[in-house]
Structure 1
Amino acid sequence: MIILLGIFFLGLLHTLHTSFFVCDDAFISFRYAQNLAEHGQLTYNPGEAVEGFSNFSWTLLLSLMALLQINLSISALILSAVASLITLGTTYLITRDLLRNGTLTPYPVSGTRFTDFIAFSAPIFLILWAPYTTWTAGGLETMCFTALFALSLRATLNKTPVAAGLLWGLTAITRPEGALFVLIAMGWLGADILRSCWKNKTIKTLLPFTDGVAFLVLLTGSLFLFRWYYYGELLPNTYYAKVWGIPSSFLRLHGLSYIHGFIKTYSLVYFVPILTGLAIILPRLKWELSLLLTLTITWFVYILSTGGDFMAMLRFFVPVLPLLALLLACSAGGFFLMVARRTKNLRIPGLVALLLCLSSGGLLLYRSLVFERASIRYEKRQLGMESVRGMVHYVSDRIKVGRELRRIFPSSITHMSMAVGGAGAISYESRIGRAIDTFGLMDKTIARKKVRPGKFYKPGHLKQASWASLRAQKPHILCSPGIATIGFSPPGARHRKRVLAFFNEYDYFCLRLPLSSDDRGRSRTHYCCIRRKTMATPVGALK
C-alpha cells in the first residue's frame, strides 16, 4: 500500500508541475450539473432538453457537488486524482493476480516476492505514460472512466459476475464507448461460466451471472429510457455532432493518423520483443490474455473508427494504458518464468525481469519527456492535437472573459443570449442565460448536418452554425469563431468590415484584460466580440 501511494504521489507531483488545469470542455458538464442542482433540469440552457454531454454518471456526480455548494473545478480535480489512485491500485492487483496464476505454480513460496515486485512495475509504467499524468487533471471524466474500466476488468478476471455486471454498467453510463467493452467482457465471462457449468454438470454458477446481467441491464436500460423520455433520443446529441454525417473513410483516415502518432511518439515497435514474454505464460493464462488482448485491439479499432481526438497528449489512449502497462509487466513475468525453469537460483530470473522493467520504463520515461516538453512549452499543435500550453491558455483566457462579461452585465446577464464556439468556460463563468454552441453540441439541427470535409480536421469541430442561422437567432452577443478575436489590439478594419457587413445590426466591443502570452512572450490584451447596436457599450469595454 505504501509503495502504491508513493507511486501515486510521484505521478501527482508531476501532474501538478506540468499540466494542472481544468480544460474548457469540462465546463460544459459543469453547466449541466449546475442547472440540475439549481433548477432541477439536466440541460445546458433551462427549458432546452438537448443532451450535449456524453458522461452521464460523471455529470450526476458533479451535480451532487454543486448541490453541496462545492466548487466544481476543485471537485473535478479531486475526483480525478482519487480515480487515478484507484486505477493504479487496481492495475497492480490485476497484474499481481495474473503473475501469480501464470508463473507461481512451480514456485509457490519463494517466488512470490519476485513476481509481486514485478507486479509493481505495472503502476510505475502507468505513471510514466505522459497522457496518464496529464489527464489525471483536466477536469473531464477520463480518469473516472479509466478507473471504472480497470475495476470492471478485475471483477471480470476474478469471475465475480455480480460485481462485474454492476461495474460494467457504471462504465457504460460514464462513457458511451463503454458499451463496446461491456459486450466483450460479459460475453467472455458468460462463456467461461457456461463452460464451467457444462464441465461440472450444474447451473449453480449461472445464477450469479444472471444477477450480474440484471444489474447491467438495469443501469444501461435506465439511461436509455431516461434519455428517450427526457431528450427524445436514444443516443446523446454529441454522437450526431461528432460522428454522424461525416464520411467514415474520412474518420478512419484521421483515426489511423492518431494511432500512428501514438505508436511513433512512444516507439512502440521496440516493445514488441519484450511483449513476446506473453507467449511464455500464454499456456497458463490463455483465457485471461485472450480477454486483455481483445479489449486492447477493440479500443484501437474504436479510435480508428471515430477519428481520434483533438485534445492534448493523446487523451483517447488513457483508458487503455492500464492494459498496456499490465501486459508489459506480465511479459517481464513471462521471461522470469522462462529463466526460472533453467536455474534454482531465483535471483537470476529476478534480475532478468528487473532489467526488462528498467529498459521498458526508461524508454517510456524518455519518450514521455520529449513529447511532453514540447506540449507544455509551445502553443503549436502536435500531431493534429492541441498542446497542453495551448489548452491551458485557451481556458484561462475564457474564464477571464466569462467573469468580465458577468461583471459588466451584472443584472442582465442571466436574461441575455450569446453565440460562442466552444461552449465551456465563457458560458459557465458568465452565467449567460442562453448560450448557443456554434459547433452543435446543444443544437440538434447543427448536429445533424452532413458535411463534406476539406483539409481542415479537428474532431468534434467539423460542423458549425452558419452566419445566417446565427443572425436569425438574434443573440445579444456573438463570440463565435470567425467573429471573435483575441490579440494585442482590436480587430483590424478589414475584419470588422467583413463581419459587420453581414451582421449590420451589431457592432464590435472589446474587453481589455491581462490574457495569455504567445510563444514569444507577448501578452494578449484584447478579447473582442460583437453585440447588438441597441445595447449600450458596457462599462469597462472598449468600442
Structure 2
Amino acid sequence: NLPTLGVTVSAGAAVIAIWLIGRLADIIGTPRTLAQVHLATATPFLYWAFGGLETTLNAGAVIAFLIAYYAYRLKPGRARLLAFGAATTVILTVRPETFLIVGGFLVATGSIEIHLRRAWREHLRMGAVAASLTGMQFAWRWWYFGSLLPQPVAAKVGPQAFALDRIAGGITYALTTVGQYPVALLTLVMIVAFARGIRRPDPIRSRMAPLAVFVATYVLFVLTSGGDWMEGGRFFVPILAPTIILAFCWYGPVLTRDAVIITIAVLNILTSCLFAQVWSTSSVLGDRASRDAFPTDTAPYSWFEAQTTSSD
C-alpha cells in the first residue's frame, strides 16, 4: 500500500544520501566515515528517514547537486555539464521551491567568482542550464495544470509570499529546531568557514565557500517561508550534509579515530531518544488518544486553512 511504499522510498533515499555524502566529503576533504556516520545518526535525518515523505530524497538530491556543481567547477567539461543538468533536474522536481534556492545559490557563488576573477564562465553556463530547466518546468506546469506552481504552494503561501509575521514564524521554527537538536555550533563553524574560505587561498578552504553559500541560502528561505508545522526539523534535513562537512573539515585526521566517530554516533542516538521521549508528539496511527492529546495547529502555516477557520 501507499504508506508502506512511502516509508520504503524514504528509507532507500536515506541510504543513497549517506553514500553520496561520502563522495562530497572526499571532494571537500572531510573524513568520509565521520560524515556518513554523523548524517546517518543525526536526529532529524534519522526521524525523517522513516517518515514516508520526500525529505530524505530532497537531502540526497541536494548532495548530488553539490557534487555535480563541484565536478564541473573544478574540471569543466561537456559531460560534467550534462551531469550538472541532470542533478539540477532532480533537485528542481523534488520540491517546488527549490528553484529559488538553486537560483540564489548560483547568483551568489557566481558573483563571488566574478569578484575574485576565477571560474565565472563556468558559473554562467551552470546558471544558463538551471534557468533553462526552471523555465521548462514552469512551461510544462502552465500547460498541464494552468499554474506555474503546485496548488498546495498557493494554499500555504496565499497572496503575500513574504510578510513580517511569516519571518517571525520562521525564526521561531529555527530556534525550536536548534533547541531540539543542537546544531548552533555547526552553524557557527559554517559562518567561520565561509569567511575564511573566501579570504584564504588554501584549496580546501576555497571549496568550503560554496557549501556555506548554499546553506545560508537555504536557511534564508526557511526563515522567510515561515517554517514548517511538522516536527523533527524537516526543513533543515536537506542541509544537514553540507553543514556537517563544513563543521568537521577543519580537524582532518584527528576525527578519523574510531573513538571520535563512536562518540558522535552515541551522542546523536541519545539525542534521538531524548527527542522521542520529550519533544516528539508522534504516535502510532491507531492511537487516537495520543493524537487527541497533542493536537497539531497547522493554521499558521496554511493560508487556505486560516481563511477557512476565520470564515467559520
TM range (shorter): 0.7 to 0.9
The aligned counterpart of 1:231 is 145
1:155-179 deviation digits (Å, cap 9, x = unpaired): 1111232211221122112212211
Q: Which runs of 5+ in 2 are unaligned?
A: 73-79
Q: Does 1:140 align with 2:53?
A: yes
Larger relative contact order, structure 1 or 2 (CA cutoff 8 Å, min sep 6): 2
Q: Does 1:261 align with 2:176?
A: yes
The aligned counterpart of 1:371 is 275
1:425-470 deviation digits (Å, cap 9, x = unpaired): xxxxxxxxxxxxxxxxxxxxxxxxxxxxxx98542264243698xx
Aligned counterparts of 1:158 and 1:355: Cα–Cα separation in 2: 32
The aligned counterpart of 1:488 is none
The aligned counterpart of 1:388 is 282
Aligned counterparts of 2:219 and 2:113: Cα–Cα separation in 1: 25
Q: Does 1:181 align with 2:101?
A: yes
Change (3 A) 1:134 1:196: same
* AA partner of residue 283 (structure 2): R
Change (3 A) 1:363 1:331: farther
* AA partner of residue 302 (structure 2): G
**Secondary structure at the residue paired with 2:308?**
coil
1:452-508 deviation digits (Å, cap 9, x = unpaired): xxx98542264243698xxxxxxxxxxxxx9xxxxxxxxxxxxxxxxxxxxxxxxxx
Displacement of 1:85 after TM fit?
1.3
Q: Does 1:241 align with 2:155?
A: yes
The aligned counterpart of 2:16 is 86
The aligned counterpart of 1:31 is none
* AA partner of residue 317 (structure 1): F
Change (3 A) 1:389 1:298: same
Q: Does 1:291 align with 2:214?
A: no
Contact 2:58 2:95 in 1 (8 A): yes
1:502-522 deviation digits (Å, cap 9, x = unpaired): xxxxxxxxxxxxxxxxxxxxx
1:99-157 deviation digits (Å, cap 9, x = unpaired): 1xxxxxxxxxxxxxxx7xx3211111112222111211222222222111110111111
Change (3 A) 1:173 1:197: closer
Aligned counterparts of 1:371 and 1:256: Cα–Cα separation in 2: 20
Q: Select the residue among 80, 83, 92 that pairs with 1:163.
A: 83
Contact 2:180 2:275 in 1 (8 A): yes
Change (3 A) 1:332 1:457: farther
Aligned counterparts of 1:280 and 1:189: Cα–Cα separation in 2: 18
The aligned counterpart of 1:465 is 308
Displacement of 1:304 after TM fit?
0.8
Displacement of 1:84 after TM fit?
1.0
Structure with bigger helix share is 2
Contact 2:44 2:233 in 1 (8 A): yes
Aligned counterparts of 1:139 and 1:285: Cα–Cα separation in 2: 36
1:283-313 deviation digits (Å, cap 9, x = unpaired): 3334321111111111111111111111121
Aligned counterparts of 1:190 and 1:271: Cα–Cα separation in 2: 25
Alignment of 1:436-475 (within 5 A): 458-460=300-302, 462-465=305-308
* AA partner of residue 86 (structure 1): I
The aligned counterpart of 1:307 is 226
Contact 1:173 1:220 in 2 (8 A): no
Aligned residues: 292
**Secondary structure at the residue paired with 1:388?**
coil
Contact 2:85 2:129 in 1 (8 A): yes
Aligned counterparts of 2:192 and 2:129: Cα–Cα separation in 1: 37
Structure having the higher Rg? 1
**Secondary structure at the residue paired with 1:226?**
helix
Aligned counterparts of 1:178 and 1:172: Cα–Cα separation in 2: 5
Q: Does 1:128 align with 2:41?
A: yes
Contact 1:95 1:119 in 2 (8 A): yes
Change (3 A) 1:297 1:272: closer
Displacement of 1:255 after TM fit?
0.8
Alignment of 1:345-360 (within 5 A): 349=254, 357=261, 360=264
**Secondary structure at the residue paired with 1:310?**
coil
Aligned counterparts of 2:246 and 2:266: Cα–Cα separation in 1: 17
* AA partner of residue 146 (structure 2): G
Displacement of 1:324 after TM fit?
1.8
TM score, norm. by length of structure 2: 0.77
Q: Does 1:252 align with 2:252?
A: no
Change (3 A) 1:392 1:459: farther
